[in-house]
Amino acid sequence: MLTDSILTLTTLVPAAGAVVVTLLPRKGRAVQWWTLLVSLVTFGLTLHLPFHYVYGQTGFQFEENYSWIQNPAIRYHLGVDGISMWLVVLTGFLSVLGTLASWKAIKSRTKEYYFLFLLQQTAMIGVFVSLDMFLYYGFWELSLIPMAILIAMFGRERGPRTALKFFTYTFIPSALFLVAILWLYSKTGTFDFVQLQAALSANHSLLTAKELCWISTAFLFAFAVKVPVFPLHGWLSDTIFEAPTAMAMVVAGKLGLYSILRFNLGLFPAQAREVAPYMIALSVIGVLYGALIALVQKDVRRLIGYSILSHLSFCTLGIFCFALAGLDGSVYQILNHGLSGSAILILAGFLYERYGTYDMAQYGGLAAKMPWMATLFVITSLSLVGLPILNGFVGEFLILSGSFPHHEVWVAFATLGVILGAAYMLWMVQRIFYGPQSTMVVNRSFPDLGFREQIALWPAVILMLVMGVASPYWMRAIDGAVSNLADTAAHTVSYLETR
């Protein structure tokens, strides 16, 4: 049955599609059309998950668990819960949008680009569905390689330098992460996440407090860089600035935040609780720092890059407050930012395709010439600002309301980030689309959004509204998975007090 192997199919279809890309002719649009077909098939497979998910059931579903290597004990173990399921669906959805966004933007070396693009999809889905730490680490490392190569090949100004910076920032913590995984295996005899979780929760003497501290820190360090958490964000702005739009859509947030939820809170709840005050402080600093730096940017892509730091810092705030509402809001905000942040990057990319610049000073009064572009830009910006009835409001409200009872001062400061976010997003919209028309806009005439471009954007914009008014549909699955984390955190509190 399809359900028995749905996760394997979803993971490997993009990789199989990438192999076929190498056999297609370079001339014409065959590569693009094939990639679009593979992305649509992959997205269709991901939709099988929410339609067949058993809501209210705890634990992992759609599991595939087979012995792979006897010694060391490595298993082919896949599964999803209410957190990872929606991230798999989001990845499939963004792969379709990324293909459409790249249609005209990538004009050379298309086979190389779409081969690596599809390989990246397999790596990301693999991270979300892997329940064996060895298998997970393989997909985690695989996700770095296509990204770095694509930035080096298609960077706008300093691609190779930015790719090296990105790879160095992310690979060094990953090497420490591998050491921590092997250390954990040497003590427990298994890479399987479910077995590790059971062993660590049942036997607190399995590892010493010092060993748990070092291992959990290595995990958190690797994930925090990938989010990124302030002050480990040095790679983010340049990467967003240089990366092709489809890669900029997925470079930050999802993998790191998911991994913190799954492994740091899932395997090391006591250690996560101990570092929570520091992570909350860094999160609030990240919210304000990202927003303030975004306010002074003149380049659209760099503004978006720093806004990503600010918005994702809200997610880490919600995670480390350990309240059910905050955890729910963080997961929902990961989905929201994946959707709205991708849409704003696509819109910025369409502007660049027409005018060849991200400099906001060159624009002005564009709404009169491109009303559809202006309309979608405004809606997407309001989603990122957190306007009620749009998706961003739900996530931010849950994070702030869940965090406030326990961390009033920090949350009060974080709330300033919401105000600053509205300031820099609306300022960007005003500079580009309203006011007097700039010389460039007057002298250079380009068509409004075409059919392909609207097809790439309208589904995302509609989802922003649907997720804003029908959030319980997503929360049904999220809340069940997050409740387990919240219960673990509650038990952790009593454990720490009696230790």
Averaged over 168-188, what is the pLDDT?
88
**70 vs 291, which has greater pLDDT?**
291
Please check the confidence at residue 272 and state whether its pLDDT lies above 90: no
Please check the confidence at residue 388 and state whether its pLDDT lies above 70: yes
Q: Are 435 and 362 in contact (CB under 8 A)?
A: no
When mean pLDDT is compared over 159-173, 304-318, 432-446, the highest value belongs to 304-318
Averaged over 465-491, what is the pLDDT?
81
Averaged over 163-184, what is the pLDDT?
87
Amino acid at 53: Y
Please check the confidence at residue 497 and state whether its pLDDT lies above 60: no
Measured from the Cβ of residue 20, the count of other Cβ atoms closer than 10 Å reads 15
**The two three-digit tokens of residue 183, written as one number:** 């250390």
Task: Give first-to-last CA distance, the chain, whole Å.
Answer: 49
Please check the confidence at residue 196 and state whether its pLDDT lies above 90: no
- Comparing 191-205, 354-368, 479-493, the range with the smallest average pLDDT is 479-493
Which of these, 148, 158, 136, 154, lies nearest to 84 by C-alpha position?
136
Torsion of CA 35, 383, 226, 111, to 10 degrees: 20
The confidence score (pLDDT) of residue 114 equals 92
The confidence score (pLDDT) of residue 496 equals 46
How buried is 90 (Cβ within 10 angstroms: 0-12 exposed, 13-18 middle, 19+ buried)?
buried
Q: Are 159 and 152 in contact (CB under 8 A)?
A: yes
Which of these, 14, 88, 13, 22, lies nearest to 50 by C-alpha position?
88
The confidence score (pLDDT) of residue 490 equals 58
Q: What is the DSSP letter of 359?
A: B
pLDDT tens-digit readout, 116-138 = 999 999 999 999 999 999 999 99
pLDDT tens-digit readout, 349-385 = 899 888 888 888 888 888 888 889 999 999 999 999 8
pLDDT tens-digit readout, 44-92 = 999 999 999 888 787 889 989 888 888 888 889 999 998 999 999 999 9
Per-residue CA distances from 223 to 260, 286, 492 (Å): 6, 16, 21
Please check the confidence at residue 35 and state whether its pLDDT lies above 70: yes
Averaged over 461-477, what is the pLDDT?
91
Phi, psi of 65 (to 5 degrees): -135, 105
Q: Are 338 and 253 in contact (CB under 8 A)?
A: yes
Task: Let me know how many helices (H) and strands (E) the chain has, helices first.
Answer: 21, 2
What are 414-419's contacts with CB under 8 Å, separation 24+?
414/283, 414/284, 414/287, 414/288, 414/314, 414/317, 416/287, 416/288, 416/291, 417/284, 417/287, 417/288, 417/290, 417/291, 417/310, 417/313, 417/314, 418/385, 418/386
The confidence score (pLDDT) of residue 488 equals 61
**The two three-digit tokens of residue 409, written as one number:** 């001062």
Question: What does pLDDT average to over the chain?
Answer: 87
pLDDT tens-digit readout, 301-351 = 899 989 999 999 999 999 998 888 889 999 999 999 899 999 999 999 899
Residues forming beta bridges with residue 67, ordered by sequence position: 75
The confidence score (pLDDT) of residue 486 equals 67
Please count the residues of the chain.
499
Averaged over 396-418, what is the pLDDT?
87
How buried is 356 (Cβ within 10 angstroms: 0-12 exposed, 13-18 middle, 19+ buried)?
exposed
Averaged over 238-249, what is the pLDDT?
84
438 three-class SS: coil
189 three-class SS: coil
